[in-house]
Chains A and B, each alone.
Chain A
Amino acid sequence: MELLPTIWFIAIAVLWTGYLFLEGFDLGVGMLMKLFARNNTERRVLLNTIGPVWDGNEVWLLTAGGATFAAFPLWYASLFSALYLPLLVVLLALIFRAVAFEYRGKVDTDSWRNRWDWAIALGSFFAAFGVGAALALTTTGLPLNANGDREGGPMAWFSGYALLGGIAVVGFALLHALAFLALKTDGEVRHRAREWFVRLLPVLLLPIAAWALAIQFMDGKLWTWAAVILAVAAAVTAWLLARNGSEGRSFLALGAFLVLGTASIFGAVFPVVLPSTLDSAFDLTISNASSSDYTLGLMSIVAAVGLPLVIAYQAWTYWVFRRRVSAAHIPEAHSFLPAVAAKAFTTKG
């Protein structure tokens, strides 16, 4: 077994887990803008809970992508080119979503806000779905030929697993967002989020559990089965804690569910990073898809310093903005008369 490629396999699993953990709730909050929030004030409560952090969360995706490129270029090349259309959808979704966060409050009309609310909700949905589909397919396989290129046309990636993975991440993101809102807001939103969390947990976690189990039946090892069982225990704990009103601990327990779940999935497929459904001889593995030890060694040193630093200052951000947001905090929307228009107004009027 090769040490450095194994380390980088773990590192990439960690990056994806970090991404799903952090952007999981902000993608979910995005979807809840249309599913959960009842009026503009509530929508602004939702937005401002993730406002300071969503952009930093999204960098986990870029880092996961960049690290895959650097550490396993053949995995990156095959996965991204095979999933051309779904990733295009993810990109468009992320573009609309990012712009919508910033631009939504910049014009004070209902139609403007409503348009961007849809961009946030749908952008979050498609981003979560697409990322989930891509992650599921990298564990269940794609029709790759000997060169690692997709056979069978633009939709050859489409399968039940793609749907399952997509729904799995959407479901998890929604639940994680409810836990996050229960933790980060106060008043009506907080209580409703907790209620929804308790009521919906079994449904929303079902698809991700199905994915983890499917992988175990295909490639499970003893320890990954154990991880699945622990994950289920974590989910039950999260549910019990939420019911008893311990929002912080419930959120952490759900996080433990995610960590254990992704560990069970990545652990089961190891050392294959992207199986070929055409011929297992074409499977991409940590040995045939990885960069040289020199590159991996260099990256390891940088990541060993850089990643803890990232975690530290991101944790600090959450500490700075630790207080709960409630509808009572939301200030009036700023509507201003431009200086230029105001002049015309005052002289003519």
Chain B
Amino acid sequence: MDALEIARWQFGITTVYHFMMVPLTIGLGLVVAVIQTAWYRTGRPEYLRMTKFWGKLFLINFIMGVATGIVQEFQFGMAWSEYSRFVGDVFGAPLALEALLAFFVESTFLGLWIFGWKQLKPAIHLACLWVAVIGSALSAYFIIVANSWMQHPVGVEMINGRPVMTDAWAVFTNNTALVAVPHTLFGALAVAGGFLLGIAWYHLWRRRHDGVDTVGADGKVIPGEDVRIPGRDRADHSVWIRSLRIGAVVAMISFAGTAVTGDLQGKLMFQQQPMKMAAAEAACHDGTGFSVLSIGNVGSRNCDDVVAVIEVPGILSFLAKGDFTTEVKGVNSLLPEYKANYGTNLPDNPIYGERAGQEIEYVPVMEVTYWGFRMMIGFGGLAALAALVALWLTRKGTVPESRGLMRLAVFGILAPFGANAAGWIFTEMGRQPFVVAPNPDPSGIDQVFMFTAAAVSPGVSAGELIASLVALTAVYAVLLVVEVKLLVKYIRGGVVSAMPELGHAPVDENEDATPGPGGPGDTKPADDVLAFAY
């Protein structure tokens, strides 16, 4: 592997990893904010318990997103200095604005939320969480504006060989970003939905398994309590069944959201990066059919090796153009266009290092694009279907006794994560061999594109890149194990793990569990320094 390939692996690994934590942060943050709002308005103890429990898991995960996010910003300069020099005038701004306008907000107000349970009036405490959640969504917007410029460069003019921003409005309202942002946010919500559903299912199952909850003759649940176990009371049942239903509804809504926005995004991509979409289909020839299963020689980028085994006519045209008859261009007809427009070989420029003069491979790795596209849709759809089934199965207030179903629900948590990762891997690898894709749109700007081969830092050695790849991957692997262990510990602990006060002697819950001395209605801050979270 040369420096370029190592740098690409590093970017891929660190980004996919970072984006396991981020969607859960965005999605779960919103869910917790909604639940805390419900508690604020109704004062019902189960909503407070849900806020505390899901909030705790949210924080365990949030910190990993923060820690791995810094790597992302530094990495452009460290490993991709030529890229940074080329795009800096237009790409740096959204990153800087993300830090200044979004991440500052998110970090500061989350700190207030975590430590301010007693210092802030309940309304302000709740508002802090909302502000942090809005900050995280804004953060997603700025990052996707930056990414969308790589997918579809707009708002610039080429001056001295570099794109220079001339129209900030065009950059910040790039149509690629406007559909990618809601798509990503719905994808994040899908992760939260599955997370709530799986974990709540586990606890409902546990309560039945332990004989706490029973089922009456009509099949309806009879919530019980076990006084020997802290927090295993009747309200606990209500915590989990509500969480499960919220999770399932969120999962279904977000799948519908990703489907609608994904369709819009697909139609744009057929115009903006036709090769990516042809490769997503492994479609060699022009046609209208959507492939359900295609097979080919693994690793081959030769289109003629790919055979579509099952194909549904008309669907591809629908995905691309909204009708069933327009022919969509395949790889074979796109390839000559790309070669004519962007050359057959990399220029003889030292920026390409040893790759100068090499033939350009315009077809992305089709196994990745083809299966990435299908895994994204497949995992997403499966999670939504599972949510629907879960709602039906739990209509009488609890889950079936089956251990297998419980395991399925728990492992189902992974499906939306898989869909998110697959979607990003698809869209980033489908853009290759470009790091900044050329814009074939007639409104686009000529010659604003960059081959990935030109983007890597010329002064950084393969040895340095290997060192960082190994170090980051190893540290990330260890931390993933730690994070999952902690999550499992707190999940198994149930609500009491996030609300140790429930474990004390039985007391009037309304008094014990509320943050101010007298609950949400009380406006007098408690006489305490801060909520000791550490």
Interface residues, chain A, with chain B CB atoms under 8 Å away: 44, 47-48, 51-56, 58-59, 61-63, 65-67, 69-74, 76-85, 87-88, 90-92, 94-96, 98-99, 101-107, 145, 147-151, 153-154, 291-292, 294-295, 298-299, 302-303, 306-307, 310, 313-314, 317, 320-321, 323-325, 329-331, 334, 336-343, 346
Contact = CB atoms under 8 A, between A and B. Distances in A.
- Closest CB pairs A-B (n = 3): A73-B88, A80-B77, A70-B92
A292 B103 contact: no
Contact-size category for B:
35 or more
5 contacts: A65-B74, A69-B84, A76-B88, A295-B89, A299-B93
Interface stretch (B161-169, B245-253, B283-291, B391-399): B161-169
Given A88-B464, A294-B164, A303-B100, 15 more contacts: A61-B70, A62-B73, A70-B88, A70-B95, A73-B85, A80-B78, A88-B471, A91-B70, A98-B67, A150-B460, A154-B464, A306-B101, A336-B496, A336-B500, A340-B206
B70 A147 contact: no
Contact of B230 (A88, A94, A313, A342): A342
A61 B78 CA distance: 15
B164 A62 contact: no
B107 A56 contact: yes
A103 B100 contact: no
A255 B115 CA distance: 26
B168 A101 contact: no
A154 B99 contact: no
Given A77-B85, A330-B532, A98 B66 contact: yes
Contacts of A96: 475
A32 to B, nearest CB: 15
Contact of B81 (A80, A98, A106, A343): A80
Contacts of A48: 115, 529-530, 532-534
Contact of B74 (A51, A54, A87): A87
Given A69-B84, A99-B64, A338-B489, A88 B530 contact: no
Contacts of A105: 533-534
Contacts of A51: 111, 114-115, 530, 532-534
B532 to A, nearest CB: 6
B325 interface: no
A207 to B, nearest CB: 25
A291 B489 CA distance: 49
B26 interface: no
B119 A298 contact: no
A80 B74 contact: yes
A335 to B, nearest CB: 8
B467 A321 contact: no
Contacts of A47: 534
A302 B493 contact: no
B229 A339 contact: yes
B111 A55 contact: yes
B123 to A, nearest CB: 14
Nearest to A341: B492
A321 B107 contact: no
B494 A292 contact: no
Given A70-B95, A76-B84, A106-B486, A95 B71 contact: yes
A91 B494 contact: no
B23 interface: no
Contacts of B229: 339, 342-343, 346
B188 interface: no
B268 to A, nearest CB: 25
Contact of A81 (B109, B164, B457): B457
B60 A323 contact: no
B97 interface: yes
Nearest to A102: B63
Contacts of A88: 78, 464, 467-468, 471-472
Given A63-B99, A88-B78, A306-B100, A147 B89 contact: no
B104 A66 contact: no
Contacts of B490: 106
Nearest to B457: A81
B460 A336 contact: no
B101 A302 contact: yes
Given A88-B468, A339-B230, A325 B529 contact: yes
Given A154-B461, A317-B112, A66 B96 contact: yes
B188 to A, nearest CB: 20
B120 to A, nearest CB: 7
Given A67-B96, A81-B79, A101 B534 contact: yes
A69 B529 contact: no
A85 B471 CA distance: 11
Contact of B119 (A63, A321, A338): A321
A79 B489 CA distance: 42
A69 B532 contact: no
